Amino acid sequence: MKKKSVILSGMRPTGRLHLGNYLGALKNWVRLQDEYMCYYEIADWHALMSDFDNPGSVTELCRDMVCVWLAVGLDPDKCVMFRQSDVSEHLELFFIFATITPLGWLERCPTYKEALQNVQDKDLRNYAFLGYPSLQAADIALYRADKVPVGKDQLPHLELTREIVRRFNHLYSSDVMVEPDEILTEVQKLNGTDGRKMSKSYNNTILITEESADLKKKVSMMITDPERIHPDDKGHPEVCTVYEYRKIFSADPASVEKRCRGGSMGCVECKKGLLEDLEALIAPVREKYRHYRDNPGEVDRILGEGNRKAREAAAANLKKFREAMSFG
């Protein structure tokens, strides 16, 4: 029998998870756990690289993240969920990679240049942040993962991972490391409630676990077609954020569009429909989330077990890598 592909993916605990994270990653992760050997990582070292001024919040967000993962259906019997900083092999392999990654590769990485330019509120010119892609490469190589589900923004990191892995195999005349391929998920892009990119810094997110009252408030504040004054005006769904959501979450977007264009549905009614659809998606997740949030012992046990399984695989692979290097 062919060996099951190994998948690794990770998420940085830098904010509470929103619908963008769900559509862009988690929904897909849940599907993949049935088919592959999946490792899902809470990338807290990666979060610390930018949030070093608030490590306590990173820790809190780690906990919150596992609760949401479990609530959306990641199943500890089907996948391994672990916290990066609990598996010390990540930093060991990171260091090995740091020795073989030329500075130029990191300095030229487009995500690095972009972050230095765009992030205004903190100084990212620290030693660790430059090495961000090397640590990500270590995350992936450590499990000898051959597939990595990521969004388009992460492709430069995948490319660097392959280059570092190739360099390792070449330098130590081995084939012990696996070159990973991305699984590029065609994701439905979801903007924030104000029509801009969904981001916690814009304060325009809808959480995967949003409370009913807050959800209602957020939907009611969404911008619709500004040319529509009366409910029977003919609408333009293509300029309307509510419609962008309805296209994704409604069972029958075609009829929404038709009624909007024909002027047979007012925006208030339309938002009511969106609220119902979102509530149907969120309510069961919210309920499970509360269960995990209120049972920290159970979450500790699940994460502890995930950490243990991850460590076991990581330690065995790291041993192989050091043998290939004739080091240690």
Of 37-96, binders to ligand TRP (CB under 6 A) are 41, 43, 46
For 77, residues 6+ apart whose C-beta sits below 8 A from its C-beta are none
**Which tokens is 107 given?**
């300095």
Q: Which is nearer to ligand TRP, 161 or 250 (CB)?
A: 161
Nearest approach, Cβ of residue 187 and ligand SF4 (Å): 22
Distances (CA, A) of 95 to 90, 144, 163, 170: 9, 17, 16, 18
Burial class (CB in 10 A: 0-12, 13-18, 19+), 152: exposed
Q: From the list ligand TRP, ligand SF4, none, which binds 10 (C-beta under 5 to 8 Å, kind-based)?
A: ligand TRP
* Binding-site string for ligand SF4 from residue 226 to residue 245, where x marks contact by CB under 6 A and - marks none: --x------x-x--x-xx--
Residue 164 touches which of ligand TRP, ligand SF4, none (Cβ within 5-8 Å per kind): none
- The verdict on 12 binding ligand TRP (CB under 6 A) reads yes
Shortest spacing between CB 271 and ligand SF4, in angstroms: 6
Please give the structure tokens belonging to residue 188.
């439905």
Which one of residues 33, 85, 101, 154 is an interface residue with ligand TRP (CB under 6 A)? Answer: 154
Q: Give the footprint of ligand SF4 on residues 243-262 (CB under 6 A).
A: 243, 260
Catalogue the long-range contacts made by 116-125 (C-beta closer than 8 Å, 24 or more residues apart): 119/50, 122/50, 122/53, 124/49, 124/50
According to the binding rule CB under 6 A, does residue 139 interact with ligand TRP?
yes
Which position among 51, 138, 225, 310 is part of the footprint of ligand SF4 (CB under 6 A)? 225
Binding map of ligand SF4 across residues 256-295, x = CB under 6 A, - = no contact: ----x----x-x--xx------------------------
Q: Does 136 bind ligand TRP (CB under 6 A)?
A: yes
Question: Tokens standing for 306?
Answer: 């995930």
Residue whose C-alpha is closest to residue 142's, from 280, 273, 324, 8? 8
The CB-of-45 to ligand TRP minimum distance in angstroms stands at: 9
As a whole number of angstroms, the distance between CA 26 and CA 20 comes to: 9
Distance from CA of residue 247 to its chain's centroid? 22
User: With the C-alpha atoms ordered 88, 90, 96, 101, is the resulting torsion angle positive or negative?
Assistant: negative
In the sheet that holds 79-83, the strands lie side by side as 79-83, 37-42, 6-11, 147-150, 181-184
> Total number of residues binding ligand TRP (CB under 6 A)?
14
Shortest Cβ 300–ligand SF4 spacing (Å): 44
Given ligand TRP, ligand SF4, none, residue 242, with its beta carbon under 5 to 8 Å by kind, binds ligand SF4
Residue nearer to ligand SF4 on the CB measure, 56 or 226 = 226
Distance between CA atoms of residues 184 and 104, nearest Å: 26
Binding site for ligand TRP (CB under 6 A): 8-12, 41, 43, 46, 136, 139-140, 148, 150, 154
